[in-house]
Structure 1
Amino acid sequence: MDNHHSGPVETGAPMDYSEHDKTYNAFLAGAKWGTMLIIVLMIAMAAGFFGGAGFIGSLLVFIILNIAGVFLLR
């Protein structure tokens, strides 16, 4: 019975809080930038398909909104 664990499972391994914080911050950054990218893409597609801007116009909208998003989300 040497391998019988008498304590709770949650206390089995020590937490590496600095690595946890890095992972959490990376997830938040990815979610923030990914959401911005998808929203900008949808606006540019709407401008191209429904607004009559065409490919070049929607590409310009995409680029301009990405630049604005980078400055606003810093």
Structure 2
Amino acid sequence: MSEHPTGPVETGAPMNYEEHEKTYDMFIAGAKYGTMIVVALLIAMAAGFFTAGGFLGGILTFIIACVAGFIFLK
């Protein structure tokens, strides 16, 4: 019914570890900066909705939070 292979387990092409590490680093950077932007957006929305700053205050808060986040995460 089922076949039991007797050869090596890895039969595909050899791994390109350098490319794998580049992809992993890009994923980590995307997750890190994406999370930072979402948090900055939530803070800006709270500042815009619950303070007297309104829409422009929220945008200004978002820009300041993003700049601070990029500086902090470098």
TM-score > 0.5, shorter chain as reference: yes
Matches within 5 A, 1:1-74: 5-9=5-9, 11-13=10-12, 14-74=14-74
TM-score with structure 1 setting the length: 0.85
**Structure 1 moving runs of 4+ over 3 Å:** none
How many equivalent residue pairs? 70
Give CA deviations for 1:25-47 in whole Å, capped at 9, x if unaligned: 00000000000000000000010
* Structure 1, unaligned runs of 5 or more: none
Q: Percent identity?
A: 55
SS class of match (1:12): coil
Return the alpha-carbon distance in structure 2 between the equivalents of residues 7 and 21 of structure 1.
28
Return the alpha-carbon distance in structure 2 between the equivalents of residues 24 and 63 of structure 1.
28
TM-score with structure 2 setting the length: 0.85
